[in-house]
Structure formats: structure tokens, C-alpha cells
């Protein structure tokens, strides 16, 4: 599956559901901030997801790459963290309990 990037900053806050991608699975209350031009994806959801996504610094544009990336719902959690938050690397948010 192709990856995408954007010419502006992207932020996302998960409200409900889950979203899985290369860094693992995000659950409600997860947040990310991505600098411009960083290739990312693909992402998928088993049961759907609701999130707020914001682009900062200009118009949102998807730039699709020719590079292909594998997708799996079984990826290990591997967040990209600034050095000052590295101590949170082992914190695993299990997400909500199933119904």
C-alpha cells in the first residue's frame, strides 16, 4: 500500500474506536503530532474510528509516494517520542474494555 505525506503539520486526537498503523494501535485519548513531509501509513481500523485531525501551516494536501508499505493489525507498539518523553515508551494504553 502506498504511503502519504503532507506539506504541513498534522495533528490527531482519537475520540473513539481504534486506528492501527506502523507505530501500533491508537485508542481513545491517543494523540500525535507529525512534522511536514514525513511519509506515513498505511492505516486501518477493524471496527471504525472517530478522530479530530488538524493541519497547521497551510492547505492540507495528500502527497502519495511510490513506496509501498506493508500493513498489519498485529504491529508492536513503537511510538516516536522526543527524548524528554522517552520514559513513556513502555506505557501501553490498552484502550477500552470490549462490550
Residue 63 lies in a domain: yes
Q: Please, what's the b/e burial string for 73-97 (b: 16 or more CB within 10 A of its CB; e: otherwise)?
A: eeeeeeeeeeeeeeeeeeeeeeeee
Model confidence pLDDT, tens digit, residues 45-56: 999 999 999 999
User: Does residue 13 belong to any structural domain of this protein?
Assistant: yes
Parent domain of 14 = 2-72
- Let me know if residue 88 belongs to a domain: no
* Domain assignment of residue 36, yes or no: yes
State the pTM of this model.
0.79
- Count of structural domains, the chain: 1
Burial tier of 26 (Cβ tally within 10 Å: 0-12, 13-18, 19+): buried
66 lies in some domain = yes
Convert the pLDDT of each residue in 10-33 to its tens digit. Answer: 999 999 999 999 988 988 888 899
Amino acid at each position: 500500500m502506498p504511503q502519504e505525506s503532507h506539506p504541513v503539520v498534522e495533528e490527531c486526537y482519537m475520540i473513539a474506536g481504534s486506528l492501527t498503523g506502523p507505530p501500533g494501535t491508537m485508542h481513545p485519548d491517543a494523540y500525535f503530532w507529525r512534522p511536514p513531509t514525513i511519509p506515513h501509513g498505511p492505516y486501518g481500523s477493524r471496527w471504525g474510528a472517530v478522530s479530530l485531525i488538524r493541519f497547521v501551516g497551510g492547505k492540507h494536501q495528500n502527497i502519495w509516494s511510490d513506496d509501498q508499505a506493508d500493513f498489519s493489525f498485529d504491529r508492536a507498539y513503537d511510538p516516536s517520542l522526543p527524548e524528554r518523553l522517552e520514559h513513556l515508551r513502555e506505557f501501553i494504553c490498552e484502550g477500552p474494555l470490549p462490550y
